[in-house]
Structure 1
């Protein structure tokens, strides 16, 4: 009997620790997303990536790295479909997260791929950590275009 109670207590403890880790992780990610959305629009200065941005109503910064398979096999096609659907109203700017550390810090990029949806003035409206499918990106772009 005491063996069953001990095992049940250990199981409950493991579940509680797991729940706390998941909850803490989600709170951390939401905090980083909040900071990214509050970031001031990046100034062009001497940053060639920002200078190359077209003046489309919606600009998407795509953070990736040369060795990121998910970036090239999943995120890139999703962005191509989005550009095909929205045409001139969307400009996609690829950012190498390994070399553009100032942008990575500005938008609190945690992983690659990550996408940041900017309006024409450069204000962030959405941040996606990890792969963002075309429907989610399309919804975020529509929100920027509508408002």
Structure 2
């Protein structure tokens, strides 16, 4: 009986170690992809955007990678981006990218999941990459970091 319990305990420890190893490897993979996306060459300013598209060259652009089928994109990410747009106004332009029809951009920014948001500075260089849903607060902090690097004063904080 004791022998069976020891085998079960050993098996449980082995499974826990394997699970931990997969988690660590997954996080490293995602971080390598994020670093590669941040190292991508600057994106040209000619992309047409959705909200705030009248501002031809804002100091911050956010690429929202989504698809028609992505429920999290439509139910969570787009409302968060509307909050960001309302809070920072003309300082930010959101550009929606249909990931399935833009494989060159999804490859450039190493899009792993939808939604993915990429925060670009005024020169089109990626400054932050968010895989999965990014709340408005996180995006605002990333935008404010980009604005501070460019010595641009931001609008009032989101209420």
User: What is the TM-score normalised by the length of structure 1?
Assistant: 0.94
Structure 2: distance between partners of 1:91 and 1:68: 21
The match for 1:139 among 135, 138, 141 is 141
Corresponding residue for residue 51 of structure 1: 47
Corresponding residue for residue 64 of structure 1: 66
Task: Give how far 1:95 is off.
Answer: 0.1
Structure 2: distance between partners of 1:111 and 1:86: 26
For residue 92 of structure 1, give the secondary structure of its aligned residue in structure 2.
strand
Any unmatched runs of 5+ in structure 1? 45-49
Residue by residue over 1:77-130, the C-alpha shift from the partner in whole angstroms, topping out at 9 and shown as x without a partner, is: 000000000000000000000000000000000010000000000000000000
Q: How many residues align?
A: 142
Corresponding residue for residue 107 of structure 2: 105
For residue 115 of structure 1, give the secondary structure of its aligned residue in structure 2.
strand
Task: Give how far 1:42 is off.
Answer: 2.5
Any unmatched runs of 5+ in structure 2? 50-55, 150-159
Which structure is higher in helix share?
1
Superposition map of 1:1-147 within 5 A: 1-43=2-44, 50-52=46-48, 54-147=56-149
Q: Which runs of 4+ in 1 moved over 3 A?
A: none
Q: CA RMSD in A?
A: 1.0
Structure 1: distance between partners of 2:89 and 2:18: 47
